[in-house]
Structure 1
Amino acid sequence: MTEDCAVCKYQHRQCTDRCIFAPYFPLDREQQFKNVHKYFGIHNVMKIIRNLDPSKIGIAMGNIVVQSDMRAKDPAGGCYRIIQELQREIESKQAELDLIHHNIARAQEASRLQMKKPASGDHQI
């Protein structure tokens, strides 16, 4: 006998050792369960994970929890808004990196040109 998980508590049933939701929704993560239930529906989640390779269930549940938590924090944007922000940050860092590469190339070219110039005291007669 285990302590009821948030899903079993919500469904007013005894949680068993074979409960697929127990590892993901212990009672101290009840709000995450509520978010998943609100945005995905627990029956839809059951359908999703029922068809997955058992080694992929943890990854799927983690993604479902994150997406529902993001939707709870930002109902209009959810994960999409965060993805947009990260994309902008990547583009900004790429532009910064391109500028650094450009400056390095200029410095290397200037160094090569400086090495080719004869010294001021080295005049040929």
Structure 2
Amino acid sequence: MANAVPVVQKACAACKHQRRKCDQNCTLANNFAAERSNDFENVYHLFGMQNTLKILKSVEKEERNATIESLIMEAGMRLEHPMHDHFSVARKLGFEVEKTEKELEIV
């Protein structure tokens, strides 16, 4: 009879932050592995734990990965541009697109 070796699951970044055991039912474990602790910290500081979970529960399971990536991107933009966040970056890119389109019309 072989000895069963218990599988030890490494706590995700969210559970590690809360100092609790990460189990199979953890909503954030798939997206915030321990290696993505910086991403989790950014999302946590911008949205908070309860809002992050509320956002995830409001979308279909199939859309959760994209939602998490969007939250990570938005939190990263806020970190890089604390005064203007992602809206100013999007507006700046929009102006650059318009400028490039006008240049192409001239050529």
Tell me the TM-score range normalised by the shorter chain.
0.7 to 0.9
Q: Give the residue type in structure 2 aligned to 1:16.
A: D
Name the SS of the counterpart of 1:19 in structure 2. coil
Q: Which of the numbers 25, 28, 36 marks the counterpart of 1:29?
A: 36
Match of 2:73 among 66, 72, 85: 66
How many residue pairs get aligned? The number is 100
User: Structure 1 stretch 15-24 or stretch 44-53: which is displaced more?
Assistant: 15-24
Aligned to 1:91: 98
Greater than 4 Å deviation, 4+ residue runs: none
TM-score, scaled to structure 1? 0.75
| Aligned sequence identity (%) | 27
Larger radius of gyration: 1
Q: What per-residue deviation string (whole Å, max 9, x for no partner) do you get for residues 5-25 of structure 1?
A: 110011111111221111211
Give the counterpart of 1:77 among 71, 84, 104: 84
Displacement of 1:51 in angstroms is 1.9
- Name stretches of at least 5 consecutive residues in structure 2 with no aligned partner: 1-7
- CA distance in structure 2 between the aligned counterparts of 1:78 and 1:24, rounded to whole angstroms: 23
Alignment partner of 1:51 is 2:58: yes
The normalised TM-score by structure 2 is 0.87
Task: Specify every segment of 5 or more residues in structure 1 that has no aligned partner in the other structure, as ranges.
Answer: 101-125
C-alpha separation in 1, matches of 2:16 and 2:9: 12
